[in-house]
Structure 1
Amino acid sequence: MYFAALLARTEDGWEASDTELDDVETLSDLADLAREAAVEDDTVLALIEQEDAWFGVVRVDGEDDPRVFVSNAVVAGRSSYGAMLVDELIGRDDTDADELDDLDLDGTEDGEPDAVEDEAEEAGDAEPRPAGPLGDAEILSDLGVSQKELLALKGDALSDIADALGCTDMLEAVR
């Protein structure tokens, strides 16, 4: 089961809202969703986790390109939303419309590898995902979560991030 929330930075701190990812098929879709939640083009963080197996942070600052961090690329790559983030980070754009139709994006994935991905990897058509964290580990450094701290997060990482940002109560309210 997925949990996804948007944290929008405001003059008074952070505003949290849970978000449905049903219509999100690409990083661009997620960035657009984050921009809609932005207050005066300020920073928005899209936080995604799947049952403490992996978490991802997508940071959108105005119209800048989104910055992405995924805690465990291999595990995240076994779920639809995680695969979307990891594939963007490694530059894989071979997911065509037919493959997207085959993906189960309802948030009920159990961490099992995607059959389409397995077939592609067995055929040698896809590069394996890198092990461990992937992306911009400095994504939250200016907000109080250093690279070292981000890389050390385990378990309920989103709560730890919210603690550092000073918005734990808001995040828990939308959980």
Structure 2
Amino acid sequence: MPVTAVLQQNLVSASASQAVYDLLLLLPSQVFQMGSSCDLVLLEFEWRFQYAAANDCLEQMRKHLLGRTAVLEWKTQYGHGIQDGNCSHGNMERLNDKISACAMHYQTHFSMLECFSEQLGKVHWTTNLRPLKNEDIQSILHGKDNDCLGEGYVITSWIWNTSGVDHTDEANLAECMYS
């Protein structure tokens, strides 16, 4: 995009070095937000990328939630003692950090999708992706109060109803634990 050279000159101060690795790389959405014109085809490509990235973030979050559930179940059944408790606590902290990071990345991608969906004429994308709230980030096995609701009755968040969920595969569960 030829307009990016002008925008880069406006953003970079006069005293800054002009080395190649210091050049600002602008995405089509950033060019559009700065008030310049941008080819809608490029914006469409970025929108598709952000849509795929948001779905990937949800998939990673689901994997980490499954891993956290497995750690809790192991801790309940087999964890007796200080060493087991400390080990499982460390695993829980790491999984919680990964879940928070996935949620933050998802919210970033979702805000871009929301911002440019109207200009690109995207209408039905919100059937799969929704705004992520803290109460949406929950295990598939628990309801709102983190209590088991009973045999055969489970309330799931919308993140478990999007495409790409296979929570029955044991190999998938093992991958969740160690990724």
The interval holding the TM-score normalised by the smaller chain is under 0.3
TM-score, normalised by the number of residues in structure 2: 0.23
Q: Which protein has the bigger helix share? A: 2
Report which of the two structures shows the higher radius of gyration computed on alpha carbons. 2
